[in-house]
Amino acid sequence: MIYLNKDDLLIQLEKISGMDFVSNKTEDLYIYSQDPGASEPRPVDFVVLPKNVEEIQKIIELANREKIPLIPMGGGLTLSGLIIPIRGGIVLDLKRMNQILEINEISRYALIEPGVTTGQLLAHLNDHYPDLQPAIPDAPPSATVTGNALIHGSGYLSQKYGNHGSMINGLEVVLPSGEICKLGSCALSDCWFTRGPIPDLIGLFTSSFGTMGIITKLSYKLYPKPKMRDMVFGLCKDVNNVPKLVSKITYTELAEDILLGKADKPDYMKGYVTVMVYITGDSEEELESKRKMIKRLYRKNGAQFMKMPERLMNIFLEKPQFAAAAADFRKGGGFEYVGSFLPLEKTPEAIEKATAISNKYNIIPTLILRIIGKGHCVMFAPTFAFNRADPADIENARNALDETNKLVLELGGIPWKAELAGQKLIVEKMDPNYKKLLKSIRNVIDPNGIMNPGNWEVN
């Protein structure tokens, strides 16, 4: 609900961020009212591109006074509509806050502003710190490091080091009150190297979808970059072999990344689970010994090694992979996936049931699974492509997503970066005292309910 009229609000916002960085024009707001996933477009009142923390504080003060929602946005690429306002309001597009403030080579972290993209950080490290690598997703390079870490994203270093949310060392947050709060070791000094050992409040800001505050600085772990990488490709006919195979491979600590897949096209792939185990090393001898060990593990645990044609191998060895090609956005294609965190032992049932859901909705079954943290968790992602020009086709994908969300919850998993409908399913199943605690914290932190309202709503 807006109290000042829109023209007055526009003037106030322009005073804060400048006329060039504020808009309420339909043509500017169009792009912010939707994302590349299957969510319905929703109206936006204003977009503002702040340049610094002081501007954000002033915008928050105005939003509290006028009770107008604020929606922080990085690259806007979650595919699950998380940056499309649910109750209108101001989208805070943070792309102008894009400074890499520090690279600490010894404690291995990057201190960045929220608009720094994954492509930008990768390029910066490649150019200036070739022995270091960031953990980034297989998302388009305009995704932000902050947006991705905040939603517990994952990528090619997640098997070894965990999900990206766990790689946050520290945060600077502008709270909904407008106060600036530092979390992690940066709360005590200028060293941004660890999130403990003090009560860990960083978790309040991860997977909370912008409902707790606006992150203005983030310290993110960096990792040593190996000299060489290879991939050992395998096929598994019996899906029931997957958990044991994965736990045997992770036991050896040989793998950098483990990706599993199931795609029923081309026809000869039907029924098979593909297994891609990435290995790294500093010499050809090291890689060769790892290749031999992985092949042996395949043989002993129900999978068979397959030699991959060089042309395909070069594509699969690219890290991050250009997954956006799958959606063919340029031709108007779209896709969305139910990403979810699932226990490893539930993967056979999940693969079989998600394949059945895809077939029910006439979508070619395409499932991706990434092992996270040495098998402590699996990122399970049934993918649903659709034709953006056909509303019935988008609705069909949405129904398939809904059914898959329910399946994941039945299996003891949790839908990841859940869209509004998925959040509701999660909240329904949540322990009542978890809900109570969440509600109390939200009420204390954000009494006017200005931060991305409608998300994680608990009654």
**Site residues, ligand FAD (CB under 6 A):** 36, 71-79, 82-83, 94, 114, 137-140, 143-144, 146-148, 150-151, 153-155, 209-210, 214-215, 323-324, 327, 452
The most distant pair of C-alpha atoms in the chain lies apart, rounded to whole Å, by 71
- What SS3 class is residue 210? coil
85: cis peptide before it, omega within 30°? no
Which residue, 174 or 242, is less far from ligand FAD as judged by CB? 174
Token reading at 362: 């006439």
Which residue, 138 or 230, is less far from ligand FAD as judged by CB? 138
Residue among 339, 315, 335, 332 at smallest CA distance from 324: 335
Which residue, 102 or 105, is less far from ligand FAD as judged by CB? 102
Check if the beta carbon of residue 456 is closer than 8 Å to that of residue 423: yes
Check if the beta carbon of residue 125 is closer than 8 Å to that of residue 100: no
Which residue, 144 or 169, is less far from ligand FAD as judged by CB? 144
Residues 6+ apart with CB under 8 A from 101: 111, 112, 113, 217
In whole angstroms, the minimum distance from the beta carbon of 369 to ligand FAD comes to 12
Which residue, 21 or 305, is less far from ligand FAD as judged by CB? 21
Token reading at 214: 């606006």
In whole angstroms, the minimum distance from the beta carbon of 108 to ligand FAD comes to 21
DSSP readout, 368-384? EEEEEGGGTEEEEEEEE
In whole angstroms, the minimum distance from the beta carbon of 288 to ligand FAD comes to 29
* Residues listed for the chain: 459
In whole angstroms, the minimum distance from the beta carbon of 212 to ligand FAD comes to 8
In whole angstroms, the minimum distance from the beta carbon of 350 to ligand FAD comes to 18
Burial 295-318 (b: 16+ CB within 10 A, else e): bebbeebbbebeebeeeeeeeeee
In whole angstroms, the minimum distance from the beta carbon of 321 to ligand FAD comes to 8
**How many CB atoms are closer than 10 A to CB 331?**
9
DSSP readout, 47-97? EE---SHHHHHHHHHHHHHHT--EEEESS---SS-TTS-SS--EEEE-TT-
Which residue, 148 or 404, is less far from ligand FAD as judged by CB? 148
Residue among 24, 138, 151, 200 at smallest CA distance from 423: 151
Which residue, 319 or 406, is less far from ligand FAD as judged by CB? 319
Nearest residue to ligand FAD, scored by beta-carbon proximity = 147
Alpha helix segments (H runs only) across 167-256: 242-252
Burial class (CB in 10 A: 0-12, 13-18, 19+), 251: exposed
CA distance linking residue 276 with residue 297, whole number of Å: 13
In whole angstroms, the minimum distance from the beta carbon of 114 to ligand FAD comes to 3
Which residue, 168 or 400, is less far from ligand FAD as judged by CB? 168
In whole angstroms, the minimum distance from the beta carbon of 17 to ligand FAD comes to 16
Check if the beta carbon of residue 338 is closer than 8 Å to that of residue 382: yes
CA 230 from centroid of its chain's CA atoms: 25
In whole angstroms, the minimum distance from the beta carbon of 366 to ligand FAD comes to 13
In whole angstroms, the minimum distance from the beta carbon of 456 to ligand FAD comes to 10
